[in-house]
Amino acid sequence: MSLIEIIAVCLLVFAIGEAVCWVLISWLRCSCPWLIIGQDRNPSIDEKGLKSFIDHGWDPELGWIRKPNTAHTEVGKGDVATSYQIGPEGARCNPGFDDRPFEILAYGDSYTFARQVNDDETWAHNLSKHLNLNVGNYGVGNYGLDQALIRLEREFPKHPTKIIIMGVVPETISRIHSTWKHFSEYGNMFAFKPRYVLQGTELTHIPNVIDTPGKFLQIPEYFEQLAANDYFYAHKFNHDILTFPYLFSLACSWNRNIDLIAAALSDRLKLTKSAAFTSVMTRNVDFAARLFRDENGQALFKAVCNKFQSFCRDNNAVPILVMMPQLIDLKRIKSGDHYYKSTLDALSESMTVVDLASTLIPHQDIASLFIDDAFGGHFSTEGNALVADILKPICEKHLAIKSNP
């Protein structure tokens, strides 16, 4: 065989390999949006979806929010429907307590909001019943600790309280490194947010860049600014993009993309139901663990927590930081990798810190405390009740101190 023939055969094999890769990736992307390609650098915006988001969930400062006087029903695992209502103050409705002033505030993410249970099943509602007072629930899905803090600072003067609970999942350390969730949660197009960066020992606030409706249609003009201020653009997004030549892209991202393609293919062939999602969630926890072990990542998290503590001190309120591990976190912790413990131990020297892992792991049936489904596994009704039981004596202690200084 001549050199020309060898080259021709190699080119043919290469072309066939590229074609197979392209067809496979395109086919899998229909059900696995975490496989990203070159066009995801400048994704198209669904204008109908954008209008719905602007009307129902957008906030120019925070990025997104649960808007006052709104309601929603969602169907979760086993076709079980749950609903929530947001009151005129922007807090989740708290049946039986809504006519009382707030005495404790709860800020944080969807684990504070208590997604996938009804208004009378949240841990904030159960805590209200334990203490016979109104716990205002200002949790918002997918919030980072930074967003929750910025919202607290904005809204606290309207309803000051003696105790402020900040409830977040461990993955919040990743969220505070983000300005556009699309860089870490591929396909989450509308989720732009503010963040803090640590310069020396000082926190600098970076406002939400996409702060007008029109800017959503001008993202390419702000792309470099967003990318420069987002940890995940350089450390995740860029590494995961599959571009021509696809064989080379796959070789460069072998560990991540081959595993994900295998999981997505298994799901597409109905051999499994959520293998790709599990792969993505596991990698998210890996990133969070990496940041908790990274000197700079840990420093930023501590700085934001200390800012929360300082705000509470300046406003004569008690800060309570509650770490709410997901089921996938607990499995990792049980295996011996309590990856955020040392950080919380350091913070606990100056503020009240509650790591729910210490109570959840010994539970005889951990799975019963979570709704393990495509939404990421939030606390079940039983799980929310247990969280309230854990927080009850802690809040009682601080309420007593505040009443008898």
Give me the pLDDT at residue 5, please.
78
| 225 or 80, which is more confident | 225
Average pLDDT over residues 3-23: 84
Give me the pLDDT at residue 155, please.
94
Q: Which amino acid is at 391?
A: L
pLDDT beyond 60 at 39: yes
* Cβ-proximal residues to 131 (8 Å cutoff; 6+ apart), any chain: 103, 104, 392, 395, 396, 399
pLDDT beyond 60 at 163: yes
pLDDT beyond 50 at 328: yes
pLDDT beyond 90 at 8: no
Average pLDDT over residues 347-361: 96
Give me the pLDDT at residue 108, please.
98
The per-residue pLDDT for range 210-265, each reduced to its tens digit, is 999 999 999 999 999 999 999 999 999 998 999 888 888 888 887 788 889 999 99
Give me the pLDDT at residue 299, please.
97
Q: Residue 404: which pLDDT band, with cuts at 50, 70 and 90?
A: low
- 3-state secondary structure string across the chain: CCHHHHHHHHHHHHHHHHHHHHHHHHHHHCCCCCCCEHHHHCCCCCHHHHHHHHHHCEECCCEECCCCCCEEEEECHHHCEEEEEECCCCCECCCCCCCCCEEEEEEECHHHHCCCCCHHHCHHHHHHHHHCCEEEEEECCCCCHHHHHHHHHHHHHHCCCCEEEEEECCCHHHHCCCCEHHHCCCCCCCCECCEEEEECCEEEEECCCCCCHHHHHHHHHHHHHHHHCCHHHHHHHHHHCECCCHHHHHHHCHHHHHHHHHHHHHHHCCCCCCHHHHHHHHHHHHHHHHHHHCHHHHHHHHHHHHHHHHHHHHCCCEEEEEECCCHHHHHHHHCCCCCCHHHHHHHCCCCEEEECHHHHCCCCCHHHHEECCCCCCEECHHHHHHHHHHHHHHHHHHHHHHHCC
| CATH architecture of the domain formed by 44-242+270-403 | 3-Layer(aba) Sandwich (3.40)
For the chain, give the mean pLDDT.
Answer: 93
pTM assigned to the model: 0.94
Among the residue ranges 69-78, 119-128, 198-207, the one predicted with the least confidence is 69-78
pLDDT beyond 60 at 375: no
Residues of the chain with pLDDT > 70, as a percent, come to 97
The per-residue pLDDT for range 118-144, each reduced to its tens digit, is 999 999 999 999 999 999 999 999 999
